[in-house]
Amino acid sequence: MLHIRKTIIRSSKLYKPSKSKYHTYKNIVFDLYDTLLFPSNNISFDTQAYLDTFHNIGYSVKDNKKLVNIIQKYKNNSQYSQLYDIISDPYMKPFSKYITNNIYLENIYKMFLSNQYNLLENHNYYTIERELYSTICTLRKYGIQNIYVISKYDCIITNHLINTLQNKDIKITNSVCNYDILRTDTDTHIEVLIDKFNIQPSNTILVSNNIYDIINSHKNKIYSIGLPTFTSPIQLYHNGADSVIDNICQIPYVMEKIDKEF
């Protein structure tokens, strides 16, 4: 796999492709949530769903900011594990006692999933990355042939949001969601993507704000670009991101650097 020195890109300039004819990468993989689609209120989908769930249950939290930090602390776990870890956090001890007497964890999880559906079915709740269409057009000129998305949610939510992108003329080649993982022996979206669509890691780029995705792309020798929306650039960098950018339109610049190194 080609490798360039790890870089944190700061320029917001949209680069035009050079006349180079040896573009290496053919596939690009995007994390669907908080990378291509953003919540309008600047609170991540999961976090807002948890806040709504606790509100629905009738449990009042003294410090909402503290709760948001706890949710973020465990965000790289699976969703059910994340809920368990949030409730097990020392700050949430009163809530743990509350649910023992009033409601089961499984019911809270179902309520959480329902709140996710409500949020993601509401087109007013999220916006599409404004530079996405122009960036993808540029990436096509760089030789990118396939655009994949990975989703940590189920097929219904994933397909709903992919259709939203398709309606904006953003054509998605294929996707991997949690349902696909349940049907295999692996537990990572990256490995399912490689196996299911016969993708070559050496000609694939991943773009994500999720540390877990970055770590797994590194393990599978996929070039990774960190996009710090709800994760700090330093965290992405130290967990193996080959480059870290501020804006999606900087991806062509990263590819230009790779070409020059080649």
**Structure-token pair, residue 227:** 């996009």
pLDDT tens for each residue of 18-74: 444 445 789 999 988 778 887 777 777 778 888 888 888 877 666 678 888 888 788
Ranges of H-type helices in 89-210? 93-102, 105-120, 132-141, 155-166, 178-182, 189-197
Q: Which of 118, 132, 53 is nearest to 86 (CA)?
A: 53
Rounded to the nearest 5 percent, the helix, strand and coil shares of the chain are 50, 15, 40
Q: Is the four-CA dihedral 241, 247, 253, 259 of positive or negative sign?
A: positive
Looking at residue 245, what is its pLDDT?
93
Asked if 210 and 231 count as a contact pair (C-beta separation under 8 A), the reply is yes
Domain residue extents for the chain: 7-38+127-261, 45-120
The pLDDT, as a whole number, for residue 207 is 95
Looking at the predicted structure, is the pLDDT value of residue 131 above 80?
yes
Q: In degrees, to the nearest 5, what angle opens at C-alpha 211 toward C-alphas 158 and 92?
A: 85
pLDDT above 70 (res 173): yes
**Cβ(27)–Cβ(136) below 8 Å:** no
Among 82-96, 136-150, 165-179, which stretch is predicted with the lowest mean pLDDT?
82-96
User: How much is the pLDDT for 10?
Assistant: 45
CATH architecture for the domain at 7-38+127-261:
3-Layer(aba) Sandwich (3.40)
Among 3-17, 161-175, 182-196, 205-219, name the one with the lowest average pLDDT: 3-17
Report the pLDDT value the prediction gives residue 205, as an integer from 0 to 100.
95
Beta bridge partners of 211: none
- Helices 45-57 and 105-120, axial angle in degrees (round to 10): 130
User: What is the model's pLDDT at position 147?
Assistant: 95
Token pair listed for 94: 């009163």
Average pLDDT, the chain: 79
For 260, the enclosing helix (H) or strand (E) is helix 251-261
Average pLDDT over residues 2-14: 43
pLDDT digit string, tens, across residues 202-238: 999 999 988 888 999 999 999 999 998 878 889 898 9
